[in-house]
Structure 1
Amino acid sequence: MLRHLDIRDMLIIDRLELAFQPGLNVLTGETGAGKSILLDSLGFVLGWRGRAELVRAGAKQGEVIAVFDVPQGPAAATLLADAGIETDDGELILRRVNTADGRKTAWVNDRRVSGDVLRRLSELLIELHGQHDDRGLLNPRGHRVLLDTFGALDSLLDDVRGAWKTLAVTRKALAAAKDQQAALKAEEDFLRHAVGELDKINPEAGEEAKLDAERRLMQSAEKISKDISKAHQAMSYDAAEGALTDALRWLEGAADKADGRLDSAIEGLNRTLNELAEAQSGVEDCMQALQFNPHELENIEERLFAIRGLARKHNVLADDLGDFAETLRVKLKALDGGADDLLRLEDDLKKAQKDYTTKADALSQARKSAAAELDALMGAELAPLKMERAVFVTEVEAGEDGPEGSDQVSFTVATNPGAPAGPLNKIASGGELSRFLLALKVCLTRDQTGVTMIFDEIDRGVGGATADAVGRRLKALAEDGQVLVVTHSPQVAALGAHHWRVAKRVEDGMTLSEVTSLETQERIDEIARMLSGDSITDPARAAAQELLNG
């Protein structure tokens, strides 16, 4: 419930404080007095998109403060918790500032918030409605959302959205699989030939370098084998080894008589013979390695050239041929197993489609039940508004499948018996439209508590007994909450529990708007003005008094 509204330097308002009350609050005034500015200012602090330039001429910044009771329910609790807003005192103080250069800053209970948080919070605080409705009542695209909200169909909607998501994912997977199969089919000949070539050679990582080294060694073997053989002969027992062995034997024979002077020489010869043995072993290994079959060189060269040829052909490094071959094998396996994958995905798609259809049908049936309930409630609401002959019908028809079901929903009316039904905004006249929208708003907000309802000239186009009927419905609607009505109808104004008059004044050459809370005599004069115009007569005052007396 809106408790307080403080506006500073907004449009033609310099300073305005209003303390709203429970029940029916009416705002009246001449056309252009600034009633819409109040709603623009309230919309500004609630984060609604509206006028771009709101700061009063000559002011550095404009500011609006609105005080509400904390809304109840899990949605409000979640929103406030997510935004980090504390509400220990049971109030929500919304404050928003607009500087002259267009910068906007907002706070809720001294917590800095974004415009998006304000807008989401406003949905729990305010219901704004006028003849030129901008909240979906006149827009057929929003009728399905309104019906779903009225019927509390969130659970069924979530089921359908989940089924639609699964269906969409499965469709995408099937389409991708078909595209992949087509692409693989186009290169099937290449894949089979390339895999055959690579499997035949079966190259290994590092094999090229190894083969190249073996090839070079074999090519140089004949040239170096003679020198290696001579070296081996020089190190043999008939040469170096034998001479060193004789020298060691001679020295060891003389060592006993040399008083230890030959010990180091003997140790050195032993070391030399050991190292000579290692050298001989290395030379023998090399000589053995250099012994090869001439055909072996031919085989090595043939494999080396084959590996290098495949690397050039497929534009990869020789060491990467094995990984490349595996990639091609995977593609070939996908091609060969693709038919089974497609069958599986097609079966998954059938199951997903069936699941979606089942859940969409359940949602459709629930919508039709909610539509029948809404139509019955609308019938009961229209009678007190002098429209007992009118018929309101919520049409639920088959449409295209989507994430929110396969229904098209539209609100239609027939204003007279036998007259064809049609769209709400095309069939009803201005006065009829006001009453239809009032009745519809009442039905759609039947379960809302603590929400302030604002009706901006909802009574336009009606007068006399019809205006009185509209006013009485608004008064009844306000009994359990708070309703703010901007009106030009004296019948509606007379039914208000609280009455404010909006007027303009000129101060220092500047036009300003002011709002005055009216007491009994002032209300009589204001309603008399609404009845008779600028010249308030005694008969007009008497008529106003009669209206106030009910």
Structure 2
Amino acid sequence: MILSLSIRNFVLIDRLDIDAGSGLTALTGETGAGKSIILDALSLALGAAADRSLIRAGADQASVAVEFDLPPHHPAWDVLKDQGIAAQLDEALTLKRVLRATGPARSFVNDQAVSAGLLAEIGELVVEIHGQHAASGLMRPSTHRRLLDQFAGNDALLAACAAAFSTFQEAEARRDQLETDQAQAIEAREWLEMAVEEISRLAPVAGEATELAGLRTRLMQSERVTEAVAEAETALEAASIETVLAKVSRAMERICRLPGFEASTDALPVAARTAAEAVERALIETREASACVSALERLIDHDTDALDAAEARLFALRALARKHVTEPELLPDLLVSLRGKLDLAEAGEDALLKARKDAARALAHWHQVAQTLTAARVSAARRLETVIAGELAPLKLGRATIRIAVEPLAEGEGGANGADRVEFEAETNAGSGFGPLRKIASGGELARFSLALKCALAEAGVAPTLIFDEVDQGVGGSVAAAIGERLVRLARARQVFAVTHSPQVAASAATQWLVEKDHDQGSGGTRVRGLDDSARQEEIARMLSGAEVTEEARAAAGRLLEDA
């Protein structure tokens, strides 16, 4: 529901901040006070077309912001998530529109810039405006099927229909793909046979090309490795390093064995032992180095035949890969794919016949589910027509009839939501013929039709806030009282605002706001103030008697408030 509305520099409004409550709120005031301006401002924030003429004279921009409290399961959150708009389910949702004297209008959701289209999409989900000129969801045929389904409780049938249609689409896609693949395979059969034979003859193995490339590299380097190892062995032998180190080691050993040197801590004996240990380590490392060089020689694989074979195989794999515009490593997968296509070309009609039967069965199942959904809709339409008829008479629309047309869509136009077109139609006088609500109903009737439909549909629709603009135009007495009673009924589950000139409707409200000229502003702006019980009685008395409020009018107003 709406928590607050903030308007800045909009037409006659300089600055206006309104905090809203639940239940039914009546907006009253003299003609020209600015009630329609407030609705225009709200519509702007909900995504209506921008018009620079709405900017207050002398201002460079106008802005309207509306704050909402929505339940966590409301579909508006899903729309925001799909669009990547950050939002916390436990926080308020704010829609804002800014009109600028120069430059385009800007739209915001939770202070994040969005397109006007997204703002309008969210706006339709959170507020419904019903009035003489407001194109509410009830007036748009595109929403009628959804409203009827909600009234009928068709959720399970809709889910089954969507699942059946999805299965049919998948089966149809498989059939179409198979038909295309088979046609292409038959046309390319000769080439496929040649390609399969050619690749099969080479018999590529997964990972083979990479392994051959590594082997080829190693074999190509073996000769250089052989030369280097021979050079190292020759150098070791020519230098007689091991012989020299052995002599040095024996000399150091003689020094360390001199009397008094073995355990002495004097500098010379200690240095002699250190030198002996170092020479010993050098001798060991030299012998180990020589052994390692010899071992390296034994590991050298210098096989010219193997190198030639590896190169020939690798070049063959690469050439075949280039021919088929692929990578050598992917040749085994390509062979599997080409064999599959060749099998398809040679398999005849068996696979295709099965795919066609699967698609036909899936289509038949969808038709069956769609027909069940159609029957449920037709039954619900008759029930809803009866409920609506009961709402029309008290609203002085007893001569009107609402018909809910459930008609089949053209072949091929059905889908996840079934195969029906649903539209609410009206006949305002017997024999005049049925037509769309917008075209058949007059301005005053249109608002009352909306109220009647909304009451009949009860919980259908997702908008938590409903606004009725002069739904009581041209009626009074018992009809106005009936309007008030129905607005109160709707307000038990939703937040409802009623812009009204009817004292009966105003008295029915839980809260009443007075829209009036702000004479404290030199330019004659508009302001809104909530009325306490005494002020409400005075305002309703004005609505009853006109400019001059009489005691009789005050008494009548008091009775209306007591009876509400």
CA, structure 1 residues 492+322, in 2 after alignment: closer, same or farther (shift >3 Å)?
closer
Deviation (angstroms), 1:143: 0.9
Determine the structure 1 residue equivalent to 2:163.
162
CA, structure 1 residues 118+431, in 2 after alignment: closer, same or farther (shift >3 Å)?
closer
Q: Does 1:151 align with 2:164?
A: no
Normalised TM-score (structure 1)? 0.64
Q: Conserved in 2, the CA contact under 8 Å of 1:146 and 1:444?
A: yes
Determine the structure 1 residue equivalent to 2:486.
473
- Matches of residues 172-183 of structure 1 in structure 2 within 5 Å? 172-183=173-184
Which residue among 510, 524, 535 is the counterpart of 2:541? 524
Q: Does 1:18 align with 2:18?
A: yes
Task: Report the 3-state secondary structure (helix = DSSP H, G, I; strand = E; otherwise coil) of the residue aligned with 2:423.
Answer: strand
Letter in structure 2 aligned against 1:179 = T
How many percent identity over aligned positions?
A: 37
Normalised TM-score (structure 2)? 0.63
Deviation (angstroms), 1:346: 0.8
- Measure, in 2, the Cα distance between the counterparts of 1:338 and 1:93: 61
Stretches of structure 1 lacking an aligned partner (at least 5 in a row): 207-284, 290-306, 530-535
- Measure, in 2, the Cα distance between the counterparts of 1:436 and 1:410: 14
Q: Conserved in 2, the CA contact under 8 Å of 1:203 and 1:321?
A: no
CA, structure 1 residues 338+137, in 2 after alignment: closer, same or farther (shift >3 Å)?
farther
Determine the structure 2 residue equivalent to 1:39.
39
Determine the structure 2 residue equivalent to 1:375.
385
Deviation (angstroms), 1:455: 0.6
CA, structure 1 residues 547+385, in 2 after alignment: closer, same or farther (shift >3 Å)?
farther
- Measure, in 2, the Cα distance between the counterparts of 1:350 and 1:480: 46
Task: Report the 3-state secondary structure (helix = DSSP H, G, I; strand = E; otherwise coil) of the residue aligned with 1:164.
Answer: helix
Determine the structure 1 residue equivalent to 2:129.
128
Which residue among 462, 465, 474 is the counterpart of 1:452? 465
Q: Conserved in 2, the CA contact under 8 Å of 1:184 and 1:331?
A: yes
Aligned Cα RMSD in Å?
4.8
Stretches of structure 2 lacking an aligned partner (at least 5 in a row): 209-302, 306-315
Deviation (angstroms), 1:545: 5.7
Q: Conserved in 2, the CA contact under 8 Å of 1:160 and 1:356?
A: yes
- Measure, in 2, the Cα distance between the counterparts of 1:478 and 1:160: 34
Determine the structure 1 residue equivalent to 2:369.
359
Cα distance per residue 1:142-167 (max 9 Å; x no partner): 21011122223233222212221221
Deviation (angstroms), 1:498: 3.7
Task: Report the 3-state secondary structure (helix = DSSP H, G, I; strand = E; otherwise coil) of the residue aligned with 2:173.
Answer: helix
Q: Conserved in 1, the CA contact under 8 Å of 2:12 and 2:56?
A: yes
Deviation (angstroms), 1:439: 0.6
Letter in structure 1 aligned against 2:428 = T
Deviation (angstroms), 1:335: 0.7
Deviation (angstroms), 1:517: 3.9
CA, structure 1 residues 330+457, in 2 after alignment: closer, same or farther (shift >3 Å)?
same
Task: Report the 3-state secondary structure (helix = DSSP H, G, I; strand = E; otherwise coil) of the residue aligned with 2:137.
Answer: coil
Instruction: Report the structure number with the largest CA radius of gyration.
Output: 1
Determine the structure 1 residue equivalent to 2:299.
none
Q: Conserved in 2, the CA contact under 8 Å of 1:434 and 1:458?
A: yes
Task: Report the 3-state secondary structure (helix = DSSP H, G, I; strand = E; otherwise coil) of the residue aligned with 1:137.
Answer: helix
- Measure, in 2, the Cα distance between the counterparts of 1:65 and 1:421: 40
- Matches of residues 2-13 of structure 1 in structure 2 within 5 Å? 2-13=2-13
Determine the structure 1 residue equivalent to 2:229.
none
Q: Conserved in 2, the CA contact under 8 Å of 1:494 and 1:527?
A: no
Deviation (angstroms), 1:453: 2.2
Letter in structure 1 aligned against 2:47 = W
Letter in structure 1 aligned against 2:146 = V
- Measure, in 2, the Cα distance between the counterparts of 1:320 and 1:482: 67
Deviation (angstroms), 1:203: 5.2
Letter in structure 1 aligned against 2:465 = T
- Measure, in 1, the Cα distance between the counterparts of 2:57 and 2:155: 47
Cα distance per residue 1:4-49 (max 9 Å; x no partner): 434333443222233445543222345554323322433455x434
CA, structure 1 residues 528+410, in 2 after alignment: closer, same or farther (shift >3 Å)?
same
- Matches of residues 273-422 of structure 1 in structure 2 within 5 Å? 329-337=339-347, 339-399=349-409, 400-417=413-430, 420-422=433-435
Determine the structure 2 residue equivalent to 1:487.
500
Q: Does 1:51 align with 2:50?
A: yes
Letter in structure 2 aligned against 1:348 = D
Letter in structure 2 aligned against 1:423 = P
Q: How many residues align?
A: 439
Deviation (angstroms), 1:442: 1.4
Deviation (angstroms), 1:428: 3.3
Determine the structure 1 residue equivalent to 2:88.
85
Task: Report the 3-state secondary structure (helix = DSSP H, G, I; strand = E; otherwise coil) of the residue aligned with 2:129.
Answer: strand
Deviation (angstroms), 1:66: 4.8
CA, structure 1 residues 158+389, in 2 after alignment: closer, same or farther (shift >3 Å)?
same
Q: Conserved in 1, the CA contact under 8 Å of 2:400 and 2:429?
A: yes
